[in-house]
Amino acid sequence: MLSVTEIAAVEIKKLLAKENMPNGALRVRVVPGGCSGFSYEMGFDDVTEETDIVLESEGFNVVVDQMSAPYLNGSVLDYKDGLQGQGFSINNPNATATCGCGSSFTA
């Protein structure tokens, strides 16, 4: 469904420790919005719903709600730290187009 690169996993673990959430999960969602139709939301959560999809990755859980799951299927969460910028990115094979800034997509 959604995979996490090794470098992204390292950064997520650092952030979970900084937030003092050793049992927290990374929640990834697709929401309507942005200039291309959909955008991603990510944050830490310590509560899961019965309908959530919970994926174990590198020693922590990634949580995806059922509405977001089809949009994220086959996606890869990565972390970049270089001259072109720093932060998390999602490589989504379901995105048919992205906006110029890369923060939203069309499926």
pLDDT for 37 equals 82
Residue 98's pLDDT band (cuts 50, 70, 90):
confident
Res 93 pLDDT > 70: yes
pLDDT tens digits, 23-74:
899 999 999 876 768 889 999 999 999 999 999 988 899 999 999 999 999 9
- 30 is written with which tokens? 């697709």
Query: Which class in CATH covers the domain with range 2-95?
Result: mainly beta
- 39 is written with which tokens? 């955008």
Compute how many other C-beta atoms are within 10 angstroms of the C-beta atom of residue 98: 16
Q: Which residues pair with 91 in a beta bridge?
A: 76
With residues binned 3-state (H G I as helix, E B as strand, rest as coil), the percentages for the chain, rounded to 5, are: 15, 45, 40
